[in-house]
Structure 1
């Protein structure tokens, strides 16, 4: 292997190892919080940092000592990670593909309904324990709580460009509110 390419591989992997250590440190920091939403993500974040560190270490050592076996292992590990990312992306697309939202007459935002998503996704949210945990995390975010501060009137709200989270989780479906005149909506 040429000295220039070994030098580049060494330094890229050295900086990636530092980044991985920061990710692992962030995972441990998340585990110290009382918030269960953050603690739920602790293991995946630490695992992600560990995998990145391991791959970078193998690439760094292979380029530093010019060990072709380690460099091949490094390439195979990178290939597996890239394939895993592609599989995850395709599965996420399949699960959420049909949930593209429905237009609401007189509003700029789209409405998202749970039954529009894949049956697997609906089954996951239908589990009472999983939904209670997810709902408690949604309540703690400022996504829904800030709507009343941002939009003072029903007209402002209907003309707002809401995110899928805001239009799908923070408000009742439009069909439940259609019978109410706009002047009765209050966001204070």
Structure 2
């Protein structure tokens, strides 16, 4: 067997082994009590793990036993997965690029206005169905309780540097 096939088989075996914890974490998320924060990602994580498992197993078998049809299927699937990942990456950059923040004199943090965000994100957040889930997710976190224990006075709060998530939950 050629060196490149051995290398492909080893890398796909490693990817196959790495897909098991991805699937396990997706199943663990699905078994958790209903939580608005993880509601959207539980099944996509399992699906991603299964896709990695199938593609890496196909690549391993095709490279180890030199099955040209499996290797061709593996290469097509990898090309599709890479293209989807690039599309997701570009989408994330386009949506999150304008952050809606501006400086406020005399304050350590930045103010955020919904008008400064991308139109897609703005319409997604303003939608009453989505905002209920976002609000429930923020209510389940301990962001506000950490703020009250960290800043004892209003002057400390306004001079402190807090994250956009902490600003939005106030």
Task: Normalising by structure 1, report the TM-score.
Answer: 0.81
Please show how residues 1-188 of structure 1 align to structure 2 within 5 Å.
2=2, 4-37=3-36, 38-167=38-167, 169-171=168-170
Q: What 5-or-longer segments of structure 2 have no aligned partner?
A: none
CA distance in 2, matches of 1:111, 1:69: 56
Once the two structures are overlaid, the 10-residue window that deviates more, 13-22 or 35-44, is 35-44
Per-residue deviation, residues 76-110 of structure 1 (Å, max 9, x unmatched): 22222222122112112222222251112112222
Q: CA deviation at 1:35?
A: 2.8
Q: Specify which structure has the bigger relative contact order, considering alpha-carbon pairs within 8 angstroms and separated by 6 or more residues.
A: 2
- Higher share in strand: 2
Partner Cα distance (1:80, 1:109) in 2: 42
Three-state SS of the structure 2 residue aligned to 1:115 is strand
How many residues are aligned here?
A: 169
What TM-score does the superposition give when structure 2 sets the normalisation length? 0.88
Q: CA deviation at 1:156?
A: 2.7
Tell me the distance in 2 between the aligned counterparts of 1:83 and 1:145. 42
Cα distance in 2 for residues equivalent to 1:156 and 1:130? 33
- Which runs of structure 1 show a deviation greater than 4 angstroms over 4 or more consecutive aligned residues? none
